[in-house]
Structure 1
Amino acid sequence: MHIKLMRGIYMKTRITKLLVLLLSVVMVTVIAAGCSDNPKNGAEKPDQNTVIDSGGVTAEPVTLKLFFSGAVSGAAIPSGLQDDGVVKEIEKKLGVKLDFIGNTTDDQLASYLASGEILDLTMVSNTKLFSQIIQGKLALNLNDLVESHGKDLLANAPEKIEYSKKAFSDGTESLYVIPGSSGPGMISDTYTFGLNIRWDLYKELGYPEINSYLDILPVLKSMQDLEPTNENGQKTYAISLNTDWDGSTALYTLLLAPMYGWDTTEHDFHAEIDNANGYAVKNSFDPDSWMFKGADFLYQANKMGLLDPDSISQKFSSRDEKMKAGRILSSFVHWDVGGFNAAMEAAGKPEIGMMPVYPKDSKTMWNFGPEPNGIGGGWVISSKTEHPEKAMEFLNFINSYEGAMLIFNGVRDKDWVEKDGKPYFTDEAIEASKDVNSPAGIGKYYNASGLNEWTTHPQYEEMLGGRQWATTKERTYSQLYKDYDEYYGVDTPYKAYDKQRGKEVFSDAYRPYMDVMPDDISAINTRISDMVKNDIYKMIFAKNDAERDQVKTNIIKKAQDLGIDKEIEWVLQNRKEAKAKYEEAIGK
């Protein structure tokens, strides 16, 4: 997945490894005493798939059609009616069946927009489309509905409702969009964008110091020498890339920068933003840019025999197979690390896996900061839906503590229970949660939850996501994590960075206020992207230093000829205006 998907999905990919679904609490779906197991006057007990409305009348569930990919760790929700434990519980509580158009694409959404009609509920990840949807009268005005059917949404996420009226209303300051997941900052045991390495090999080498990113390659070389092949005799590589996630440039040339406070990964323009120093902007084609530092880093890796030669054309699926087979010894993104660690544990090798290490001169750990305004776009309800109240009840439910707990952890009193006043995963649920496609549905709808998993439940004083519970970690902690914690003297891996230098995180909440690139700037941007995505690999795989330097010179010259100065001028001005609009919207 491209990094933007992780975040629009966090988090691509607070996005990576993430889970999701939805429910609603504002309706009387509870079967009252008169409908108990001992019905009076011979009345039949309603079927479990029926719902009792507020007038005591048995009602059949309604079907809501949803446009929502929901990809979790690369596994999209399949199209059609779902039949897992989570959606069955939603149907029982809300009286709705969920019929998905899954594995969605921008082209599919464009077709719906062109037709003048959208599904009952549509998740729109591209926030620039909201004006078109509102102007086309495709979305329902939610001002009244949220008041009557959105009490949990208003109580738990009021900031994103007010933000939506400012940012996503086409200037009307009315509510049309319910933004995506909101809550406190991401907590990850692996480095979102940074260096994750085979910790077992690093340990065997005696934990060599990494003072700066320049020290990374010698350490990786020692690791590759230590394990030149996997257990099947296949050659290992310290670093492996895939090209199908490349955006404005080759993705992996950008992944040193976040360790030093620079945002290079979450946008489509050719500029680097110094988040640790007042959000200053640098041209990506500056000779000293992080893009070129990253390209040179990979060039040096190739010279040392550390770079997978397939990297020049490899797709993520191929790289992921190599990762799980133990053929890759490091990763600068976290969403493939979990798969490898889980595979090793399943193979009876819990001491083997990847964990993050931090150059001593690094400035930031990139884990997305607090998101009170929501991320990943937002939901719109069709202006032509036959079930507007049910649609809003669903959106309300996924923004409730009850709904989020269902999405992340499964059905209460079946998949998780209360013990001593705390939530507790059953052993069966822990096993089921390892596969989002299991019949339990635990985590399958992770990216639909309106509250993120790091939100604290007010009753339990635990995070909503069960994998964060102390009672889960004490039963699932692998030897890998125990070794890591012992080395850093912490009780959970994500605290290792805090202990070393204090965690700093990035925030780019102003970005939805940036304008769509005008046609002339967009054309410049596209031509430059096409050029650099091709030529930067020539630099990485150059035969010698002289060829590398010449390719770099040529790239800079081509970017200038194609109009990079005009693009950067637009970025600087538009970003400044967007930041001012954002600060005005939040009352700063």
Structure 2
Amino acid sequence: MKKGTTLLLAVMLMLAALAGCAGNEGSGGNEGKSGTASGEQAGESTKEPAAAEKPKEPITVQAANLFPNLDPNNPVMQEIGNRAGVKFDLVTVTGDRNQKFDLWLASGDYPKDTLILKPDYISKYKEAGAIIPLEELIEEHGKNIKEKYGEYFDLLKDENGHIYSLYVPNIATEPAPQIQAPFAIRYDVLEAAGYPEVKTLDQLFDVLKAFYDENPTIDGKAMIPFSGFSTSGSGGENLGGPSFNIAGLTNHGRFYIDDSDQARLIYVSDALKQYYQFLNRLYNAGMLDKEFFTLNMDGLTKKITEGRVLAGYFPDWYVQPEVEKTMRASGDTDLMYAYFPLMQDENAKDRSFVSLRTRSNWNWAISDKSEHPEEVIKLLDYMFSDEAQILINWGVEGRHYEVADGKRRVMDSYKQQLKDNPDALWSEHASIFYGTSMYFAHGTKLADGDYATPLTKDSIKEGYDERTNEVLAQYGKQVWSDFLPELEYIPAILSQLGEVEDVRAEMKRVEQIWLKESANMIFAGTSDEFDRLWTNYVQKIDKAGAAKLEEAYTELWRKNTKK
């Protein structure tokens, strides 16, 4: 899971046509239709003119709000209310959210209409009868919900067939433009090699060795051809994740799913062995960071900014905020990194870039205390419309974004406003839907052909320096996400389905063996020694209960994916 949250920049007033459609949505009226009764003469009427109807008073929706800094009267909140025909009475969560949710449930003093809860709390509130089933309301008033989910509508359903919370589907057709492959290679290394498109570990080794042989030191300090960092202190982050990547496997945590739909431990896989052999080769060539298993994030950042690290396995959530900002500020753009998806075999299919069909994190539910659930579901259904997505992501047209050549663009004035005062996000643009499951993913295109969010290839390119654009041009790419394989959707991530309690002891033993033995294998003096250590290691893992683990997690996988 990526760390950090990308701020959604800017805001918009809708096209008149879309605004008009939204205004009539769900009204059940026949506005714009005309006709005559049988036998009437054209232009004549047998009825008295109808009295002008009074404008419908907006209902008040008492809604949970997760953000104490939010201005409930900011332009976007006002627009949502106007277009959906509601007024908001916000109940803001302060302090520890989980404590607040538990207190609400225990006292029964939760918001009357909408709740925003993580999936585990959705279950708690469901079991307590505090939230209502939504499927009948959706059937009658959920045109946008049904349209966006299409054939995947059943993904909203609980095991008992009811729908208790709402979250948007993932309908992105391309990688989010800020995503980068995890293998990083410095620009000057690539330039010295003639800008090859490095596709395999062997190719990476050759490129690094050639540069390292010519540049063994920098400013009197040893150059480090390949490094990584550990957030846990165990070094495990440097080992498991890359093994999935180089084999083109979907990362399910401790497991991958094989062609027979069985869960297999990554710890005894050919993928792990091949990655360890690569690291062992680097080690014996003097090209692996001596602190590979113990280096923390700050330590690696220091080495990188000293210009000592030529390549490594760096997740994008680390590189973008921690490294690139520092290096661009210092002007060391030639020592920045290109990001490639590396494989053990360049002909293998890369299936490591995957996503789920739903975006469930902070889900929306309707309280059992709501006096007007039909109007509340209309509000939530509106949030599934393209119009609402543009509004909550981009903002108000002419104030936060503008349209040029058919594309939305964050206005320079609003960018400067956010730069001068980051809190302007709350007074200008953020809504109660901010940071919840109501946002379409980056890389999603709407019906008008433009993107649902301001995080686009154009916005990413604006943040690049000239040197980065030069390197990308060598490969015919615009952004680093262009190197990623085609986005593939999967039914679930095994690591998110929970733990199997019956095999918790076996899992602990297996992971202890893995972490203890990994360094011995990677630091083996010869390939023969590596093979001997690997064989002994696999035997230990098997004895610790590998088969039992795979059987238990295969059952968990199949149960949740209905295979």
- TM-score, length basis structure 2: 0.71
Higher relative contact order (CA 8 A, sep 6+): 2
Aligned-pair RMSD on alpha carbons? 4.8
Alpha-carbon spacing, 1:515–1:415, altered in 2? closer, same or farther (3 Å): closer
Q: Does residue 425 of structure 1 match 2:410? A: yes
Alpha-carbon spacing, 1:417–1:321, altered in 2? closer, same or farther (3 Å): farther
Residue of 145, 152, 159 corresponding to 1:170: 159
Residue of 498, 508, 527 corresponding to 2:490: 508
Q: Which amino acid aligns with 2:476?
A: G
Deviations for 1:500-539, whole angstroms, at most 9, x for unmatched residues?
Answer: xxx4444321457997554212332233234423443444
Distance apart, 1:312 and its partner CA? 2.7
Deviations for 1:64-115, whole angstroms, at most 9, x for unmatched residues?
Answer: 233xxxxxxxxxxxx6343599x662255334447356897xx869967995
Q: Does residue 458 of structure 1 match 2:447? A: yes
Q: Does residue 203 of structure 1 match 2:191? A: yes
For 1:32-51, list aligned pairs within 5 A: none
Unaligned residue ranges in structure 1 (runs of 5+): 7-11, 29-52, 67-78, 498-502, 582-588
Deviations for 1:337-376, whole angstroms, at most 9, x for unmatched residues?
Answer: 33333444444555653222355715345564465x3134
Q: Which amino acid aligns with 1:198?
A: R
Deviations for 1:251-292, whole angstroms, at most 9, x for unmatched residues?
Answer: 5333143243222x333xx43334xx5656544343x52223
8 Å Cα contact 2:180-2:480 kept in structure 1 = no
Q: Which amino acid aligns with 1:451?
A: F
For 1:203-352, list aligned pairs within 5 A: 203-208=191-196, 210=198, 212-223=200-211, 238-244=226-232, 250=237, 252-263=239-250, 265-267=251-253, 270-274=254-258, 282-286=264-268, 289-316=270-297, 319=300, 328=309, 329-339=311-321, 340-348=323-331
Indicate the SS of the match to 2:514: helix
2:64 aligns with: 64
Mapped partners of 2:9, 2:415: distance in 1: 18
1:37 aligns with: none
Residue of 439, 442, 445 corresponding to 2:424: 439
Distance apart, 1:568 and its partner CA? 1.2
Choose 212-221 or 238-247, whichever is displaced more: 238-247
Identity, % of aligned positions: 17
Mapped partners of 2:299, 2:362: distance in 1: 32
Mapped partners of 2:398, 2:240: distance in 1: 48
Mapped partners of 1:417, 1:505: distance in 2: 30
8 Å Cα contact 1:454-1:464 kept in structure 2 = yes
1:73 aligns with: none
8 Å Cα contact 1:149-1:396 kept in structure 2 = yes
8 Å Cα contact 1:142-1:176 kept in structure 2 = yes
Mapped partners of 1:315, 1:253: distance in 2: 17
1:143 aligns with: 135
Mapped partners of 1:114, 1:524: distance in 2: 36
Mapped partners of 2:221, 2:416: distance in 1: 31
Alpha-carbon spacing, 1:326–1:527, altered in 2? closer, same or farther (3 Å): same
8 Å Cα contact 2:340-2:483 kept in structure 1 = no
8 Å Cα contact 2:230-2:237 kept in structure 1 = no
Indicate the SS of the match to 2:172: coil
Alpha-carbon spacing, 1:299–1:469, altered in 2? closer, same or farther (3 Å): closer
Alpha-carbon spacing, 1:142–1:576, altered in 2? closer, same or farther (3 Å): closer
Mapped partners of 1:388, 1:343: distance in 2: 52
8 Å Cα contact 2:446-2:452 kept in structure 1 = yes
Distance apart, 1:566 and its partner CA? 0.9
Deviations for 1:300-356, whole angstroms, at most 9, x for unmatched residues?
Answer: 434444444444344446545665676543334232333333444444555653222
Indicate the SS of the match to 2:64: strand
8 Å Cα contact 1:183-1:452 kept in structure 2 = yes
Choose 555-564 or 223-232, whichever is displaced more: 223-232
Unaligned residue ranges in structure 2 (runs of 5+): 12-18, 24-53, 82-86
For 1:487-526, list aligned pairs within 5 A: 487-490=474-477, 493-496=480-483, 503-511=485-493, 516-526=498-508
Alpha-carbon spacing, 1:112–1:516, altered in 2? closer, same or farther (3 Å): farther
Q: How many residues align?
A: 509
Residue of 329, 352, 358 corresponding to 1:374: 358
Distance apart, 1:417 and its partner CA? 0.9
1:528 aligns with: 510
Q: Does residue 124 of structure 1 match 2:113? A: no
Deviations for 1:100-148, whole angstroms, at most 9, x for unmatched residues?
Answer: 56897xx86996799587785344256xx76555334343322355457
8 Å Cα contact 2:225-2:287 kept in structure 1 = yes
